[in-house]
Amino acid sequence: MTETLLAISPELYTLIAAGFYILVVAMLFFWIWRLEKRIKRILGSGTGKDMEAVIMENHQKTRELENFLKQVFEKNKEMEKKIRKSIRSIETVRFNPFKGIGVGGNQSFSSAFLNEDGDGLVLSGLYLRDRISVYAKPLRNSKTEFELTDEEKEAIEKAKSSIKN
């Protein structure tokens, strides 16, 4: 077999070697062309930017998104504080303050307005034929310095349990 290879003329070897090199160069050009096509697709089809510019732009956009996310979290904390202080539960108990004498019906009421901390107020209205009296008592942690009626206590307890649920 070595004899047949040696029998080939040096011009033929040169021609075969040149053909091999041309084939390798053609394959490399094809590979480079495919890579450039893929890079253009990655970069957004002919935006004219190089890879470094795209990476820097993406880095800047990432920083902007991080700052925006930070602002959103801060705003969310503020909103949570405001929501915690807002009225979360309102419960009303209707009653007749004159149970034994048959006057007034169940027109009187006690309403408790509470936030998550138990702060708020209890508002009571006593109905009589010729007038209505309204009383407000401030609440801190579901307690007040004023004396509470049984109906007011009941309204506060209902409001507290409503917040828990």
* Confidence (pLDDT) at 41: 77
Residue 1: pLDDT over 80? no
- Which pLDDT score is estimated for 46? 55
Say yes or no to pLDDT of 131 above 50: yes
Residues 101 and 118 placed together within one structural domain of the fold: yes
Q: Are residues 55 and 15 in the same domain?
A: no
Residues 56 and 4 in one domain: no
Are 19 and 79 found together in one domain? no
Q: What are 43-100's pLDDT values in tens digits?
A: 665 556 677 787 888 999 999 999 999 999 999 999 998 888 889 899 999 988 877 6
Q: Percent of the chain, pLDDT > 90?
A: 52
Q: Number of folded domains in the chain?
A: 3
- Give the CA angle between residues 55, 59, 63 to the nearest 5°: 170
Q: Which of the 8 DSSP states describes residue 9?
A: -
Does one domain contain both 94 and 120?
yes
Shared-domain flag, residues 10 and 55: no
| Domain range enclosing 71 | 49-85
Whether 101 and 147 map to the same domain: the answer is yes
| 160 neighbors 120 (Cβ within 8 angstroms) | no
Give residue 102's Cα distance to chain centre. Answer: 56
